[in-house]
């Protein structure tokens, strides 16, 4: 059946802020990490409708309504699927491609992207090894130590080292001719046009892996050791890396389990890392580019307050103004932006190292709000005691009044401009240029169920108080030890593993499910197998949520969706739980297979012995602690 290409839907959902979309129709209130409201799909007095900004997913605990941006528009505005996609695309400034079935070319493109992620991951491992093993590593280690970085923080940010030389990466990864072309596409190598020679892009530099919101390495930054130029070198634009959309340190902050509702935006990799080491983990950096509107929307999907840190010189002032112009369209009611200008000679790294995080927080308390900075910047050099000065300010400021997304924020900006210019709001409104007539909305039609692949961007999940040994729901012989620990949420093995997969689908590629699981008689195992299959087709946790919504599983799915809205399990805990569970599943599978052989009558001795040996090895493996 023809359909809108899946990669377009994924891109559209990644560019859509579900909180903003819903809040324009149903006023939302911030409640912890999520937002809530009375459900628009059934009558209620107490809010049970929850929107998770990290998953870009909504769920009602009262009536069970759930979905992503496409699903919400379909249900709320009674649109069919193509109409909802078209409306979202228009809102995002995108053109819907012609509907068609997924082709072999689509699948090849998906495979090519995955191969780039795999290659970049291998490169990250290579650079990390070189920081420990390369003969020239000492100058890199000394630099990091002189900057006050610990081994623990270097490991958390996966810092590496690219040794001097032109083919270290090529040799270290044993790249074939095809691998060389792939590495060129990934931005790891450079080819000279005059000679055709291919060589490593990063040489004699400390390496900073850049990760996306799923923790996948998508590019690198490199700081030169010595006096070479440029001082910092970033990966070029590639099919998986777009510097105007990515924020360095965002994934690491989310893994830190810090629950701040504030993010600092700084200029450099080292600022992010040094602040994290000194107790300020909620810091990100743009990647050698000015703050963009895409950056702003990504920031506001995480927190309600953004603090932009700049040098106090003219370059810092220019950068601050460019950031303001990018942030305004993403600024909704309830969101806040401040501009923090650092003292001369200070950057966030030196400030916190010399004076502690308290100094940064003290400066933050004095930082200008966006509205204050906006009018102060526009009024610079104007005498507001004169009619000419106030008229000039009004003309300069009027184009900015309608830019913020939030209607309350727009009204308050107009009120402040009215106070500064002594013009009433009606007079200001008359001075505004006329707006173009809005496009007519699409015709309503009978709502249809979303297709089984309808969901948005990545993220994290289920809290676990401790990793003693959760009740995996397996028969006692699979584990001979008593189970302990405070267990919350779904208790069966399959349900726990489904929740892990919703946030860390890449675990399935690293550690696949054992073959023959369908022979086991365990609760919800069929759903786990179906979700694992969807995992291979949908490459983000949010897309996975949309896919499993279409599965027929009675009351199980609402319970899982409810659990998936809780704060995330740490990545290392999820990996340990997953590996532990797979070991137990393999033991249970072999026990069942051995029981079947024995109950069938006189078994084949060689087969019986092979099963016994495999079971003994599986049990021994299951008892070992995982790294």
> Does residue 183 contact residue 172 with C-beta atoms inside 8 Å?
no
What CA–CA distance (Å, rounded) separates 124 from 120? Answer: 6
Q: What is the pLDDT of residue 622?
A: 66
> Does residue 614 contact residue 590 with C-beta atoms inside 8 Å?
yes
Is the pLDDT score of 458 beyond 70? no
Q: Which two tokens stand for residue 157?
A: 């940010």
Higher pLDDT: 43 or 537? It is 43
pTM (predicted TM-score)? 0.58
The answer to whether domain 6-92 has CATH 3.90.580.10 is yes
What CA–CA distance (Å, rounded) separates 360 from 378? Answer: 27
What's the whole-number mean pLDDT along residues 303-325? 88
CATH classification (class only), 250-380 = alpha beta
Calculate the average pLDDT of the chain: 80
Domains in the chain: boundaries: 6-92, 106-234, 250-380, 493-621
**pLDDT, tens digit (0-9, with 9 covering 90-100), for 19-35:** 889 988 999 988 877 88
Query: CB neighbours (10 Å) of residue 189?
Result: 22
What CA–CA distance (Å, rounded) separates 561 from 555? Answer: 10
What's the whole-number mean pLDDT along residues 164-175? 94
Buried b (16+ CB within 10 A) or exposed e, 274-309: bbbbbebbbbbbbbeeebbebbbbbbbbbbebbbbb
Cβ contacts of 142 within 8 Å, gap of 6 or more:
none
**pLDDT, tens digit (0-9, with 9 covering 90-100), for 346-357:** 888 889 888 989
pLDDT band with cut points at 50, 70 and 90 for residue 358? very high
Q: What is the pLDDT of residue 624?
A: 60
Of 63, 18, 16, 17, which Cα lies nearest the Cα of 40? 63
Q: Which two tokens stand for residue 57?
A: 């997913």
Q: What is the pLDDT of residue 283?
A: 95
**pLDDT, tens digit (0-9, with 9 covering 90-100), for 390-439:** 989 998 998 888 889 888 888 888 889 999 988 887 777 777 665 554 44
- Where are the extended beta strands (E) located within 225-372? 232-234, 262-266, 283-285, 305-311, 336-342, 368-369
What's the whole-number mean pLDDT along residues 150-158? 93
- Measured in whole angstroms, the distance separating CA 599 from the mean position of its chain's CA atoms is 51
Is the pLDDT score of 484 beyond 60? no
Above pLDDT 90, what percent of the chain?
30
> Does residue 153 contact residue 276 with C-beta atoms inside 8 Å?
yes
What CA–CA distance (Å, rounded) separates 307 from 290? Answer: 15
Query: CB neighbours (10 Å) of residue 43?
Result: 8
Low-confidence winner among 61-70, 153-162, 188-197, 231-240 (lowest mean pLDDT): 61-70
Check the CA dihedral 341-343-345-350 and report its sign. negative
* Side-chain-side CA neighbours of residue 307 (13 Å): 21
What CA–CA distance (Å, rounded) separates 164 from 292? Answer: 34
CA terminus-to-terminus distance, the chain? 46
pLDDT band with cut points at 50, 70 and 90 for residue 549? low
What's the whole-number mean pLDDT along residues 114-126? 95
What CA–CA distance (Å, rounded) separates 206 from 227? Answer: 14
CATH topology of domain 106-234: DNA primase DNAg catalytic core, N-terminal domain (3.90.980)
Q: What is the pLDDT of residue 132?
A: 94
According to CATH, what is the number of the domain 493-621?
1.10.860
């Amino acid at each position: 059946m023809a359909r809108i290409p899946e990669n377009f839907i994924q891109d559209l959902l990644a560019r859509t802020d579900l909180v903003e979309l819903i809040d324009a129709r149903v006023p939302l209130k911030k409640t912890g990490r999520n937002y809530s409201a009375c459900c628009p799909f059934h009558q209620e007095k107490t809010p049970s409708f929850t929107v998770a900004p990290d998953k870009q997913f909504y769920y009602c605990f009262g009536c069970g309504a759930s979905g992503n941006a496409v699903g919400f528009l379909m249900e709320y505005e009674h649109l069919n699927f193509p109409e909802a996609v078209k409306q979202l695309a228009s809102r995002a400034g995108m053109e819907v491609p012609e509907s068609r079935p997924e082709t072999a070319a689509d699948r090849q493109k998906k495979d090519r992207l995955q191969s780039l992620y795999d290659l970049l991951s291998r490169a990250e491992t290579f650079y990390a090894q070189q920081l420990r093993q390369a003969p020239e590593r000492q100058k890199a280690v000394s630099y990091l130590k002189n900057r006050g970085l610990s081994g623990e923080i270097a490991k958390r940010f996966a810092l590496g080292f690219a040794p001097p030389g032109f083919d270290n990466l090529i040799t270290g990864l044993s790249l074939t001719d095809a691998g060389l072309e792939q590495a060129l596409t990934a931005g790891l190598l450079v080819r000279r046009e005059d000679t055709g020679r291919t060589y490593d892009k990063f040489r004699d530099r400390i390496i900073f892996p850049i990760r996306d919101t799923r923790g996948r390495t998508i590019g690198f930054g490199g700081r030169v050791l010595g006096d070479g130029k440029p001082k910092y070198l970033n990966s070029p634009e590639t099919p998986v890396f777009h510097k105007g959309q990515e924020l360095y340190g965002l994934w690491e902050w989310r893994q830190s389990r810090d629950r701040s509702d504030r993010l600092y935006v700084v200029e450099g990799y080292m600022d992010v890392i040094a602040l994290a080491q000194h107790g300020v983990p909620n810091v990100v950096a743009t990647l050698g580019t000015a703050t963009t509107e895409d950056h702003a929307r990504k920031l506001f999907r995480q927190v309600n307050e953004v603090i932009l840190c700049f040098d106090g010189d003219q370059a810092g002032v220019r950068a601050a103004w460019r950031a303001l112009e990018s942030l305004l369209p993403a600024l909704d009611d309830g969101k806040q932006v401040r501009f923090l200008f650092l003292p001369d000679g200070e950057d966030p790294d030196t400030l916190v190292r010399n004076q502690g995080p308290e100094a940064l927080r003290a400066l933050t308390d004095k930082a200008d709000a966006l509205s204050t900075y906006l009018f102060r910047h526009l009024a610079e050099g104007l005498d507001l005691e004169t009619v000419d000065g106030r008229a000039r300010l009004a003309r300069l400021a009027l184009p900015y009044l309608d830019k913020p997304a939030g209607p309350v924020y727009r009204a308050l900006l107009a009120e402040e401009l009215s106070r500064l210019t002594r013009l009433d709001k009606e007079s200001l409104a008359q001075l505004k240029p006329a707006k173009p007539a809005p496009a007519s909305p699409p015709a309503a039609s009978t709502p249809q169920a979303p297709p089984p692949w309808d969901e948005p961007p990545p993220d994290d999940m289920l809290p676990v108080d401790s990793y003693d040994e959760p009740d995996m729901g397996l028969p006692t012989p699979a584990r001979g030890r008593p189970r302990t620990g405070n267990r919350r949420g779904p208790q069966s093995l399959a349900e726990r593993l489904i929740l892990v997969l919703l946030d860390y689908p890449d675990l399935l590629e690293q550690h696949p499910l054992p073959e023959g699981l369908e022979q086991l008689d365990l609760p919800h195992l069929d759903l786990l197998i179906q979700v694992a299959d969807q995992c291979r087709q949908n490459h983000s946790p949010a897309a996975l949520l949309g896919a499993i919504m279409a599965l027929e599983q009675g009351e199980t799915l609402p319970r899982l969706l409810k659990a998936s809205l809780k704060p995330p399990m740490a990545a290392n805990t999820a990996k340990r739980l997953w590996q532990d569970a797979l070991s137990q599943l393999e033991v249970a599978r072999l026990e069942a297979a051995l029981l079947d052989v024995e109950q069938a009558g006189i078994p084949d001795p060689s087969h019986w012995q092979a099963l016994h040996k495999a079971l003994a090895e599986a049990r021994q493996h299951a008892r070992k602690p995982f790294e």
